[in-house]
Amino acid sequence: MDARLDLFTNSVAMKFIKHVNAGSLVARSAGVPIDTLELMALRISQINGCAVCIDMHTKDAIERGETSVRLNLVVAWREATVFTEAERAALALAEEGTRLADAAPGVSDEVWANAAKHYNEEQLAALIATIASMNTWNRLNIITQQPAGDYVPGQWG
């Protein structure tokens, strides 16, 4: 499969990606464990069906030592016992923040309050930034039909 557009040679796409990446890096500096952010990225990508991001975040998580059991159970995290309460709160926020059209009026007060029990305001902002940036990446990759499967851990930083 060939991509419709090369995101890394198109001048407009490259400028946009630079800003999306900068926003993503801010989220990683707020004290939320990187493993939590990666689990969120994986779940958001599963919901949206973004093969490129699923490939990337799975491989990067394995490279950092994440277990296959946890990675395989992200899709069914509610029934799994391998996630902490804080991770579960972040995954619930990621799901509701991604399924905005399905769950009007958006993120429920219950999900927000649960996340706020586990994360301070800076960390909540990081969770929101992760949700926003992952949904952006998913849309960029899906719209342009980026092929998946060849990602090498750490390839894009």
Helix axes 85-98, 109-118, angle to 10 degrees: 140
The pTM for the full model equals: 0.93
Residue 150 neighbours by CB under 8 Å, 6+ apart: 55
Task: Report the chain's terminal Cα–Cα distance, integer Å.
Answer: 24
For residue 6, being part of any structural domain is answered with: no
Q: What pLDDT score was predicted for residue 157?
A: 64
Q: Compute the distance between CA of residue 46 and CA of residue 100 in angstroms, rounded to an integer.
A: 15
Domain count, the chain: 1
Q: What pLDDT score was predicted for residue 108?
A: 93
For residue 111, being part of any structural domain is answered with: yes
For residue 129, being part of any structural domain is answered with: yes
- CATH number at 113 reads 1.20.1290.10
For residue 74, being part of any structural domain is answered with: yes
For residue 89, being part of any structural domain is answered with: yes
Q: How many residues does the chain have?
A: 157
Q: What pLDDT score was predicted for residue 35?
A: 95
Q: Compute the distance between CA of residue 51 and CA of residue 4 in angstroms, rounded to an integer.
A: 15
Q: Compute the distance between CA of residue 29 and CA of residue 42 in angstroms, rounded to an integer.
A: 19
The predicted model gives 2-28 an average pLDDT of 89
152 pLDDT exceeds 80? Answer: yes
pLDDT digits (tens, 9 = 90+) for 90-147: 999 999 999 988 766 789 999 999 999 999 999 999 999 999 999 999 999 999 998 8
Range of the domain at 99: 33-143
Q: What pLDDT score was predicted for residue 103?
A: 67
The predicted model gives 65-89 an average pLDDT of 97
